[in-house]
Copies of this chain bind each other. A is one copy, B any other.
Amino acid sequence: MGDASKNGFLRAGELARLSGVSTDTLRHYERKGVLPKPGRSRNRYRQYPPEAAKRVLMIQRALAIGFTLDELAGILNVRDNGGSPCGRVLEIAAAKLAALEQRIVETIALRDELSSILDDWDAKLSSTQPGGRAALLESLTGRNLSKARDPQFQKSGKPRQKHRRS
């Protein structure tokens, strides 16, 4: 059967397949508060209303844009209670956009950097005895790599290391 409990409701696995995520992920969304807790049938199985599929889809979109499950939870909770967090949504989205822009610039710089490094290396390596050391990594030290660290959003600033209090 495809529709679960003969009503128009979906069971976890069905919604999962339908929206391309795992049931674990669905439960996770629920835990995180981005997916409203569905009703339960007598056997305690979740009964998702068909709209849930759209909701999951929206969540995925928002995640792809760069929203965080927690941010989303905050927004959606307000909204599901009749509020209109659109201002907040816009605000966050704008920040995400800015972050993306910056990330693009940094990543491109990194790409160019790495690309040129590889050219160097190819050259060095071909003019080096097989088994010899071309000191590829060393050549990095001299380079003027932009401080762009790549890994996702990294808190900018100098290295902290909080003071001990004891």
Residues of A whose CB lies within 8 Å of any CB of B are 16, 20-25, 54, 57-58, 61-66, 75-76, 79, 83-84, 86-87, 89-90, 93-94, 96-97, 100-101, 103-104, 107-108, 110-111, 113-115, 117-118, 121-122, 125, 128, 131-134, 136-138, 140-141, 143, 145, 147-152, 158-161
Contact = CB atoms under 8 A, between A and B. Distances in A.
Given A90-B118, A159-B20, A137 B97 contact: no
Taken together, the copies of this chain in the complex come to 2
A121 to B, nearest CB: 6
A interface: dominant SS? helix
Contacts of A114: 65-66, 93, 96-97, 100
Contacts of A136: 86, 89-90, 93
A27 to B, nearest CB: 11
